[in-house]
Amino acid sequence: MNPKKIFILLPDGVGLRNFAFTSFVEIGKQKGSEIIFWNNTPFDLEELGYSEIKLRGKPRAKTDLLKRAKINAELDHFSEKFNEPIYQTYKFPSSNKGIKKTLKNGIVSVYQEKYKGEKGLEKLRKELKNSEKKGEFYKHCRDVLEKEKPDYVFCTNQRPVTAIAPLTAAQDLGIPTGTFIFSWDNLPKATMVVETDQYFVWSEHMKNELLQYYPFIPSENILITGSPQFEPHFDESLRKSREEFCRQNDLDPDKKYLCFSGDDITTCPDDQHYLNDIAEAVQKLNHEGYNLGIIFRRSPVDLSDRYDHVLEKYSETITPLAPIWKKAGQNWNAILPTKEDLELQINTILHSEAVINLASSMVFDFAIFGKPCLYLNYEVENTEDKKWSPQKVYNFIHFRSMPSKDAVIWLESKDEIKLKIVYSLQGAITNVKCAQEWLDKINSKGEMRPSEKIVEDLIKILEWK
């Protein structure tokens, strides 16, 4: 019996970590499948020993405008349907600098009005596919599929407009398709750009979200698998001894380290001020007899110089360990993860006592290792954006999945930092247990073999085909 050929569609780089840097390919091969990456990233997967076919071309300009209109129209629909204005805060303001941008924004507004409401959105989903069918990119995708004849096309990310043409071409040829919902916060943000036969989600919670926002999807087509992004945390081979990790990164093995994980500038424009406040508190604690340091892990997509002054000011307290990501272009989504960074992140968690940030999902990574998270939740004095507030972030829909406010240690003011850092060092057992309950809710309790689960589900689908 010939092995089933599964195309893993990488429309952008965010799927690399989940499906190229985990055990997914190896498990697929062990279970008798032929795994081929349909790769739209600059990353050379053949260097990792994987089979790949490069995805050539780009979506039509009209399709991208329709995608933007779909997101805005869906957010309007969610606001009205659920009587919830918070969905409007997910919209990104569009720049009107220049005639082209102004014209594009005008077209998006026209589409948004034309396709509003459930019936309008149904037409818009079809229009996205029809638009791509008229382009050379769709023809290229169809040619590849007719030549290679895969049994299944699995998309690693539901968000990119780049995924529409290859998935539509597959559907037109009768090839079954599926997509993985990339992140725990994606569905309320109306980031579902593609339509597929199956949807692979993290948990029962995410399945319910998918049905809530997209009730036309049959429940039986939604498969709960967990997310591969946490899988490497359980790989003992990636872990280093404290001595080795400290030696490689110029850290003091006798110090206890707190990890400050940075946000992108949109999520938290005041991040540098928070880092300053944390460093100031740590310095005071050290004067009181503690021996603490800060590991600063910036957001991989934040290449700004906004932290430089703080890093220089507290150079004896803060050690920056920049994520090992590959810059393949100027846009944020052209900054790609690497396998080396997985190891760096895991050992940063392993050798830190706790993590401090504003609303980051690093709470889950640290919970896996039984370590607490401190969430920043106060306004700094010299804010960079007077319209911004941490509450804007914590009010987002996905934070309502938190089973208890005790899942994190809340830093409600600058004056609380010292005391609550000490509390986190003493164990904060209750907070860690609540954080682990939160993780179980959003990532399918006990599901820590997601690569195997996804492969098994794909094989079952192809057996039914």
pLDDT at residue 427, rounded to an integer: 85
Strand partners for 201: 224
What confidence tens digit (pLDDT) does each residue in 308-321 have? 999 999 999 999 99
What confidence tens digit (pLDDT) does each residue in 176-188 have? 999 999 999 999 9
pLDDT at residue 194, rounded to an integer: 97
pLDDT at residue 456, rounded to an integer: 94
Q: To the nearest whole number, what is the mean pLDDT of the chain?
A: 94
CA distance linking residue 331 with residue 339, whole number of Å: 21
Fold match flag (4-60+135-227+447-464 vs 234-442): yes
Domain residue ranges in the chain: 4-60+135-227+447-464, 61-129, 234-442
Domain at 234-442, CATH class: alpha beta
pLDDT beyond 60 at 22? yes
pLDDT at residue 96, rounded to an integer: 74
What pLDDT band is residue 167 in, cutting at 50, 70 and 90? Answer: very high
What confidence tens digit (pLDDT) does each residue in 221-269 have? 999 999 999 999 999 999 999 999 999 999 999 999 999 999 999 899 9
pLDDT beyond 60 at 325? yes
pLDDT beyond 80 at 164? yes
Q: Are 159 and 74 in contact (CB under 8 A)?
A: no
Q: What is the CATH number of domain 4-60+135-227+447-464?
A: 3.40.50.2000
pLDDT beyond 90 at 331? no
pLDDT beyond 70 at 332? no
**Residue of 399, 403, 312 whose CA lies nearest to 358:** 399
What confidence tens digit (pLDDT) does each residue in 117-140 have? 999 999 999 999 999 999 999 999
pLDDT at residue 465, rounded to an integer: 62
Average pLDDT over residues 49-69: 96
